[in-house]
Amino acid sequence: MYDIIFISYNEPHADDNWISLKNRFRYAKRVNGIKGIHQAHIEAARIANTNMFWVVDADAIIVDSFDFSYIPSLNEQIYVHVYTSINPINDLQYGYGGVKLLPKQLTIGMDTNTTDMTTSLSKNLIVMDEISNITAFNTGPFETWKSAFRECAKLASKTIMRQNDEETNERLKTWTTVGHDREFGEYAIRGARAGMEFGLSSSNDIQLINNFEWLKDQFYG
């Protein structure tokens, strides 16, 4: 089986989610406290002992049916595999926050200047029609707002490689209108609307969505 790497950076429930993952999959490893999304994934690739490795985000709650047992065919071991996750605010189900299976060498040599790391890592990408986790990003006002802002800025800016515009627009509509009644749902909708507006403006530097200090300034300022 491929190595499982859990990536965290000060997320409120990261330790709980790590313990839960480790209890089920004893050989899982953790990368913690590495600043920068690209840099954290590069470090994950470096500590992986297999030619591909699984990435589990800190806010991921793995569903009981997912077991990390999939092995791609030899010619697909240079592909990025993205699994489906469930959004707890608006019930969307797509690759946002889902478990990823990444090629080790491509990850180590990735371009660190891209906006969306996963879709730009390789020209070969497979979206897996299997639910891997719930993306429990709604752990507090800022965390919820930040996650929604980042995702909707990426969607609206059309910087995600190979995205389907009609599908993207439907997701943006859901992000910006659905979930008022869910825990921290208002912050998700606020973040989604602000992120969409930011992403639609050609004068904005989309790279800022990966700068968490800047995001804090936008939220608290």
- Rounded to an integer, the average pLDDT of 10-22 is 96
pLDDT of residue 41: 96
pTM of this structure? 0.93
pLDDT in tens, 89-117: 999 999 999 999 999 999 999 988 887 88
pLDDT in tens, 155-205: 999 876 667 889 999 999 999 999 999 999 999 999 999 999 999 998 889
pLDDT of residue 115: 78
First vs last C-alpha separation in the chain: 46
Please, what CATH class does the domain formed by 3-135 belong to? Answer: alpha beta
pLDDT of residue 162: 67
9-15, long-range: CB within 8 Å, 24+ apart, which pairs? 9/33, 9/34, 9/35, 9/40, 9/58, 9/212, 11/58, 11/59, 11/139, 11/143, 12/139, 12/140, 12/143, 13/58, 13/59, 13/136, 13/139, 14/58, 14/59
The residue extents of the domains of the chain are 3-135, 141-220
